[in-house]
Amino acid sequence: MAAYYSPTHLVDPATVPEQPQDVIQKRTLTLATTTTEDTVKFMAQRELLANWSMCEACNRLRTIHQDQDIDGIFWGCPNCHSKKSICHDSFFSGSQVSLVQLLTFIYCWAADYPLYHYPLYHCNEESGNMAEHTQTHWGLMSRGVCEDWLIEHSTQIGGITVDENLNIMPKIVEIDESCFTKSRRSCHHRATPSFWLFGGVERGVEKAFWWRSLTDQQQPWCQSSQNGSSQVPESCQMVGPAMPI
């Protein structure tokens, strides 16, 4: 196991950065993930996989063992001989697809490649022709991560800015809304609860928010004014006050 940093660590802990790294280009990713071993170390350095594993029963670090499994290696306790997948407790836990394929697929998905059936580049071709239901599953998983991040990092958008000519101008924001409800059969036309999702971005900067109404509303959250613009309700604190949209 000399290819890895030590029998108990995939990579040198000092090489794991504390801050997120720069955006990775597609060619850089391809060269860094030519083999399963390179892919595992690449992902461990970016904390996509755990760099070490602790056996709770023995309170000892598990060691790296080679295997013919799809991931190529696994964690094994030298005392009680328990085993854990290299993907244990990670986003990739339980996957039946190789890490090389998954990492390539998620990269293409994040780059807004179509999933499949596109004449040029698409996620299916780049990731090695995974089954359509597998692509759909990991596409939904990736979208769920993005949703959780957006909810956690939502910030207020809009406000006032000063342009290069020292003119006071309102910031431009874009918003959208959707109403979700569930259709029920044999309920004698009983009303079912619905809720609104309200999201927006600010042009030119990386600011966005995603907000869900807490009560059932019968009217859209964005009320159109007489001049054709929209006004955000006062109950939504994620957009600057009196912001035209």
- Answer with the residue of higher pLDDT: 214 or 200: 200
Q: Which of 225, 66, 83, 245 lies closest to 172, judged by CA?
A: 245
Residue 2 lies in a domain: no
For residue 13, the 8-state DSSP code is: G
Do the Cβ atoms of 155 and 202 come closer than 8 Å? no
Pair 24, 130 in one domain: yes
Pair 126, 158 in one domain: no
Q: If you average pLDDT over every residue of the chain, what do you get?
A: 77
Q: Which of 60, 62, 66, 72 lies closest to 100, judged by CA?
A: 72
95: its two tokens: 């996957």
Residue 36 lies in a domain: yes
Do the Cβ atoms of 162 and 169 come closer than 8 Å? yes
Edge-to-edge strand list for the sheet holding 83-85: 63-66, 73-76, 83-85
208: its two tokens: 């966005």
Pair 22, 138 in one domain: yes
pLDDT in tens, 108-136: 888 887 766 655 566 766 677 777 788 88
Residue 19 lies in a domain: yes
**Residue 245: band (very low, low, confident or very high) from pLDDT cuts 50, 70, 90:** low
Residue 1 lies in a domain: no
Residue 68 lies in a domain: yes
Pair 92, 60 in one domain: yes
Pair 38, 84 in one domain: yes
Pair 50, 86 in one domain: yes
Pair 169, 79 in one domain: no
Q: Which of 99, 101, 109, 98 lies closest to 141, judged by CA?
A: 109
Q: Is the dihedral of CA 104, 109, 112, 118 positive or negative?
A: positive
Residue 212 lies in a domain: yes
Which residues make Cβ contacts (< 8 Å) with residue 117, sequence separation at least 6? none
Cα torsion through 66, 67, 69, 75, rounded to 10: -60
pLDDT at position 233 is 54
Pair 30, 113 in one domain: yes
- Domain total of the chain: 2
pLDDT in tens, 31-66: 888 888 888 888 888 888 888 899 888 898 999 888
Residue 5 lies in a domain: no
Residue 7 lies in a domain: no
Q: For residue 2, is pLDDT > 50?
A: no
Pair 131, 176 in one domain: no
β-bridge pairing 160-162 and 168-170: antiparallel
Pair 39, 158 in one domain: no
59: its two tokens: 């309170």
CA distances from 107 to 82, 122, 127, 153, 171 (A): 33, 11, 9, 21, 32
**Residue 14: band (very low, low, confident or very high) from pLDDT cuts 50, 70, 90:** confident
Q: Which of 39, 56, 52 lies closest to 95, judged by CA?
A: 39
pLDDT at position 163 is 76
**Residue 226: band (very low, low, confident or very high) from pLDDT cuts 50, 70, 90:** very low
Cα three-residue angle 51-54-56, rounded to 5 degrees: 155
Rg (CA), the chain: 24
Q: Which of 244, 187, 193 lies closest to 216, judged by CA?
A: 193
Pair 83, 203 in one domain: no
pLDDT at position 187 is 56
Do the Cβ atoms of 188 and 203 come closer than 8 Å? no
Element at 135 (helix H, strand E):
helix 132-152
Provide the domain limits for residue 163: 154-182+193-245
Pair 172, 241 in one domain: yes
- Segment 174-186 mean pLDDT: 73
